[in-house]
Amino acid sequence: MTRERLYLFDTTLRDGAQTAGVDFTLQDKILVARLLDGLGVDYVEGGFPGANPTDTEFFSAPRTARARFTAFGMTRRAGRSASNDPGLQGVLRAEAQACCFVAKSWDFHVVEALGISLEENLEQIRETVEASVAAGRETMIDCEHFFDGFKANPSYALACLEAAINAGARWAVMCDTNGGTTVEEVATIVAQAASVVPGERLGIHAHDDMGLGVANSLAAVRAGARQIQGTLNGLGERCGNANLTTLIPTLKLKPEFAERFEIAVSDEALASLSQLSRSFDELLNRPANRYAPYVGVNAFATKAGIHASAILKNPRTYEHVPPESVGNRRRLLVSDQGGKSNLLAELARVGVEADRGDPRVDALLALVKEREAQGYAYEGADASFALLARRALGRVPDYFSVESFRVMVERRHNAVGELVTVSEAVVKVVVDGEPLITAAEGIGPVNALDLALRKDLGRYQPFITDLKLTDYKVRILNGGTEAITRVLIESTDGKGESWTTVGVSPNIIDASFEALVDSVTYKLFRAGAPAGASSLAEACGA
């Protein structure tokens, strides 16, 4: 059976750039365009050439190899011809294969915002499309506020679609600009639009102000639309746009859509989607959404023991798609809610062999639950869990021991009279029976402790030279100044491998130091550092 083609239009670099706190540099835009091109979207909308120097420079050269590089603009201004409109001509001069122009389709906006007649607005749409087509550009019109306009004046909203298509536009796109349209309304309105304009020339541009961006996009497809506009990770103004990172797997993996439609995203590209999503968040310097559908770290995480037991027998019991299909992985969380199945699965994942009947496994499970009750959270600290498990099973060498540490924070005036706060830490460790005392200053007490701990570990020093702390999180577990504090530290090394450790204490510095020690120990273990003299002596029965 021949499947219908659906087209994916990405507007991350234009509409997504309106996200609060997001500001793309030119290099950011070039990198994201390459990511999108490799993913398999059909259109990459890069911005508004002429609106700012970054977008103008971005459109000075083609930026995609497969996807159609698309410039955004506005229909010609009132009182000007298409040939005498600098904004329109700037868009047509851009190094773009396609042009997408925004037009008013709500009569209220035409009269109140533009201050022109309804017929003049239609004429602007027609002349803009004709000018773009004459310039050799694939052309589309984004009908802004289409659904609000339809509810106010159906015939006029539809006339805007018809004006674009009759003038030669490839696509007329229905925009839910305020994100306030329900799924049922979208389905009904798109079906009526498809009775006037061929569905294979209709697009949907949904916002997520009610959390319905994806649902409304799918409803539009069911009703006849064949282009979907959205952004990576749902980036966009206010609450964001329809999330392509959710839409793509749904279109590829759910039979209702996969058996009827095809998109240009390959199975191989789909399998890289989780990594692409997280890489994009890293580029934005923001934490990835752990709970994002399909690609979030917790999308296939199971905490309840009874669920984990069923998943180990057959993953389909609690997974709607295989996590590997989107480049994600299954996580059976070790916590006070989990049972032995969770524990064994996590032991296998971190490379620890254990037999279900081994009494040490039962003791480890009890220990995990006891420590979780104290405030530890191993579901987010794989490295600390791996060390805890290996210690319980007798498989972690004693590289070094900490005898003591001390931290001093002093606020004083420096030599030039400036008021500064200085942190100094002293750490005493024992390596191969030899005490080593180091001191360091840092920008804060935790930084000073980290520097002091890693300043001299004797023969282990070469194994930790590339160790770097990349994130530090603090969680207060109960109220008051005597509160229990949980600290999570994320570390990485020169190979790009990362891991997370946890520490818990009523004292934030003590909790931080516990996580620091675990981080260094885990690095030594991963690097294959030799056991300390005391461990070797114990192994030989001395």
Least confident of 115-129, 354-368, 430-444: 354-368
Q: State pLDDT tens for residues 248-278.
A: 999 999 999 999 999 999 999 999 999 999 8
Picking from 261, 302, 293, the residue whose alpha carbon sits closest to that of residue 274 is 293
Asked whether the beta carbons of 446 and 405 are under 8 A apart, the reply is no
- pLDDT on residue 532: 67
Count Cβ neighbours within 10 Å for each residue of 461-482 and write b for 16 or more, e otherwise: eebbeebebeebeebeeeeeee
Q: What is the mean pLDDT of residues 26-30?
A: 96
C-alpha span between 518 and 25 (Å, rounded)? 38
The predicted pLDDT at position 392 comes to: 85
Q: What is the pLDDT of residue 336?
A: 43
* Beta bridge pairs of residue 263: none
pLDDT score of 351: 73
Backbone angles phi, psi at 231, to 5 degrees: -135, 160
Average pLDDT of every residue of the chain: 90
Q: Rounded distance, CA 417 to CA 321, Å?
A: 63
pLDDT over 60 at 481, yes or no: no
Please state, as a whole number, how many other Cβ atoms lie within 10 Å of the Cβ of residue 333. Answer: 22
pLDDT band (50, 70, 90) for residue 483: confident
Select the more confidently predicted residue: 290 or 173.
173
Q: 318 or 530: which carries more pLDDT confidence?
A: 530
Strand partners, 496: none
Contact between residue 106 and residue 94 where contact means Cβ atoms under 8 Å apart: no
Q: Which residues contact 217 (CB under 8 A, 6 or more apart)?
A: 204, 206, 228, 230, 242, 247
**In contact, 290 and 233? CB cutoff 8 Å:** no
What integer pLDDT is reported at residue 243 of this predicted model?
98
**What is the spatial distance between Cα 508 and Cα 489, in angstroms, rounded to a whole number?**
13
Q: How many helices (H) and strands (E) does the chain have?
A: 20, 18
Task: Kindly provide the b/e burial profile for residues 189-221, where b requires at least 16 CB atoms within 10 angstroms of the residue's own CB.
Answer: bbbebbeebebbbbbbbbbbbbebbbbbbbbbb
pLDDT tens-digit readout, 42-99: 999 999 999 999 999 999 999 999 999 999 999 999 999 999 999 999 999 999 999 9
pLDDT on residue 144: 98
Alpha-carbon gap, residue 249 to 268, rounded angstroms: 12
Residue 337 has pLDDT above 50, yes or no: no
- Per-residue pLDDT of 193-208, as tens digits, reads 999 999 999 999 999 9
Q: How confident is the model at residue 332 (pLDDT cuts 50, 70, 90)?
A: low
Question: 143-186: per-residue pLDDT in tens?
Answer: 999 999 999 999 999 999 999 999 999 999 999 999 999 999 99
Rounded to a whole number of angstroms, the distance between the first and last alpha carbons of the chain is: 74
Cα-Cα-Cα-Cα torsion 41, 51, 116, 100, nearest 10 degrees, comes to -20
Which residue spans within 398-511 are E strands per DSSP? 401-413, 419-431, 434-442, 468-476, 485-492, 498-505
Q: Please tell me the least confidently modeled range out of 123-137, 440-454, 471-485.
A: 471-485
Would you place residue 536 in the very low, low, confident or very high pLDDT band (cuts 50, 70, 90)?
A: very low
Tell me whether strands 485-492 and 498-505 are parallel, antiparallel or unpaired: antiparallel
pLDDT at residue 305 tops 60: no
pLDDT of 309 strictly over 70 = no
pLDDT reported for residue 155: 98
Q: Are 114 and 104 in contact (CB under 8 A)?
A: yes
pLDDT at 478 over 80: no
pLDDT-wise least confident of 60-69, 370-379, 392-401, 403-412: 370-379
Token duo for residue 441: 């200053």
Strands 401-413 and 419-431: antiparallel
Which token pair is 99? 């042009």
Please say if the pLDDT value at position 386 is more than 50. Answer: yes
The token duo for 499 is 């891991």
Strand order in the sheet with 485-492: 468-476, 485-492, 498-505
Q: Predicted confidence band at 475 (pLDDT cuts at 50, 70, 90)?
A: confident
State the pLDDT at residue 540.
38
Handedness of CA 103, 105, 106, 108 (dihedral sign): positive
User: Is it the case that residue 535 has pLDDT exceeding 60?
Assistant: no
Half-sphere exposure of 396 (CA within 13 A, CB side): 25
* Nearest one of 532, 539, 536 to 432, comparing CA atoms: 532
- pLDDT category at 491 given cuts 50, 70, 90 is very high
Positive or negative, the CA dihedral 461, 463, 464, 465 is positive
Residue reference for tokens 């410039």: 71
DSSP helix, strand, coil percent of the chain (3-state; round to 5): 45, 20, 35
pLDDT at residue 300 in the model: 83
